[in-house]
Amino acid sequence: MSNKKVPNFKDLTNDKLNYKKSLVSACVAAALVVSTVNLNANTNKAYMISAKNKTIGYLKTPDEYEQLVDIIGATDNIDTTQLITAKKVRDKDAKISSPEELEKIARKELHLKVPGVIVSANGRELFNTANKKDADKVLEDVKKYYLSNIGYKDINIKSTKIKENISMSTNMIEPEKIITAEDAYNMIIKGKETEKTYEIQKGDTPWDIAIKNNTTIENIQSINNAEDINKFQIGQKIKLPAKEPYLNIETVAEVKTQETVPYNTEKVADNSINKGISKVKQKGTEGLADVKKTFTFVNGNAVSEQVLNKTVVKQPVKQIVAVGNKKKSYNSYASGSSYKVASSGRFIQPSRGYYSSYFGNRGNEYHTGLDIAGSTGSPIVAAENGVVSFAGWNGNYGNCVIISHGGGYQTLYGHSSKIYVHKGQRVSRGDKIAAVGSTGRSTGPHCHFEVRLNGVPQNPLKYMR
């Protein structure tokens, strides 16, 4: 029998490889005699290896069989010659395996631990793989996934790293705890299911709470065991589903892009127009600038940016708006007539571009708005007169603006690169409120446009003119 050291398992077997060597050799010989196999002749033939009488594969030489039983016998203190047997066969189609490959199969059949790699983040076990190659592939594929979500074309990656401290160790692991590289990758991308606490604020609706926290009304109802979430009270603390990332991938990159330069708006009094009414006399035109920035992204989301250089290549043209100064006649609309327009369902398209995704079913999810693809920085305008009820970061919507128009109507504008308005600000139809971007859960620059009636999303195309 060979006394060669077992490759890759020095730490696991050094203390035991000499365990009753002569006894193992005798048992091997006996097993092969019983099987009417002469392991020293016709070495060009294959040897069928069985574990508990179940064929698990083929080896090329008797020495490989001895290596197989030695490894398992030394590390698990069992007489493998009675459990793992070899039989010489004449099978030209037999697929020859290595002792290492059959060792893993034999261990599973015998319910023994197998060699594997434990991957930990900040000292906490994350997942187990069969080998280091699989573990490295998982981590590299996770980095690539978040890089692909950044969404800029002219980009120079300066660095990409996992913020957590990653460690790997080789050990004997229960087979059922080892997962494939694909399963480990999907687990990390999906994130860890958890909960968070939210306190109901004045003006909150179930829909708004769900949107701001990247969940659904049904999920909120289920996690709180609530029959009617409309009965939640201001100040009440509720549970919301949340996800924690297993890993945080930080990417620093230089980006070259073009951004619009906002135009100024000049308002002039006009005695020929009724008070409360305004009219654009000269339409404003956005300017254009070449911009170079350094971004820091975490899991594909921009967390900071620094402008390195900005060159205006096209100057903006100001917009002139005539503001009515004439008293309304008796038959004029009462105050709030701008809401009558909104309530009639007449909204203008908020940005230029083509429709890249429509309202309704989209794969395994329901798309609650209309996506209008456009270039980063191009203007997003208010679809109708109203008051800004939300302006800021809004979960999957990224930078988001919500405008209330009266009559139960609201419009939402998501994924913006910039926001030009603030909560409580009154805006008019056509006023610039934001710029097209790809923030939040987005695969490219576009404006996600929603129309809501009493908190329920409607098909925007039925309301646009």
Domain stops at, among 244, 275, 309: 244
In a domain, 409, yes or no: yes
Residue 81 in any domain: the answer is: yes
The domain that holds 364 is classified in CATH as 2.70.70.10
Could you say which DSSP state residue 424 is in? T
Per-residue pLDDT reduced to its tens digit, 103-123: 888 888 888 888 899 999 999
* Residue 3 reports pLDDT greater than 50: no
Query: Comparing C-alpha atoms, which of 26, 69, 78 is closest to residue 47?
Result: 69
Residue-range definition of the domain harbouring residue 134: 116-190
Do 182 and 214 reside in the same domain of the chain? no
State the average pLDDT over residues 344-356. 83
Task: Give the pLDDT confidence of 209-239 residue by residue, as tens digits.
Answer: 887 787 888 888 888 988 777 778 888 999 9
- Per-residue pLDDT of 372-408, as tens digits, reads 998 899 999 999 999 999 999 998 899 999 999 988 8
Residue 358 belongs to some domain of the structure: yes
Query: What's the CA angle centered on 234, arms 228 and 236, to 5 degrees?
Result: 70
Do residues 379 and 443 both lie within one domain?
yes
pTM of the model: 0.51
pLDDT tens digits, one per residue of 177-187: 999 999 999 99
363 and 404 fall within a common domain: yes
* pLDDT tier, 345 (very low <50, low <70, confident <90, very high otherwise): low
Asked if residues 372 and 446 have their Cβ atoms less than 8 Å apart, the reply is yes
- Final residue of a structural domain among 67, 83, 112: 112
Cα distances (Å, whole numbers) of residue 173 to 17, 108, 320: 20, 11, 73
pLDDT value for 343: 45
- 200 part of a folded domain: yes
Same-domain status, 184 and 204: no
With 80 as the cut, is the pLDDT of residue 162 above it?
A: yes
317 located within any domain: no
Tell whether 388 and 464 lie within a shared domain: yes
78 plus 169 within the same structural domain: no
Q: What is the share, in percent, of the chain residues with pLDDT greater than 90?
A: 43
Please give the share of the chain, as a percent, with pLDDT higher than 70. 86
| Strand-pair category, 319-326 with 265-274 | parallel
Look up the CATH number of the domain holding residue 203. Answer: 3.10.350.10
Give me the helices (H) in 257-415, please. 337-343
| Banded pLDDT at 2 (limits 50, 70, 90) | very low
Domains held by the chain: number: 4
Q: Does 127 share its domain with 185? A: yes
Tell me whether residue 459 is in a domain. yes
Q: Which of 125, 168, 188, 161 is nearest to 251 (CA)?
A: 161
pLDDT of residue 22: 45
403 and 343 housed in the same domain: yes
Is the same domain home to 83 and 142?
no
- Indicate whether 330 belongs to any domain: no
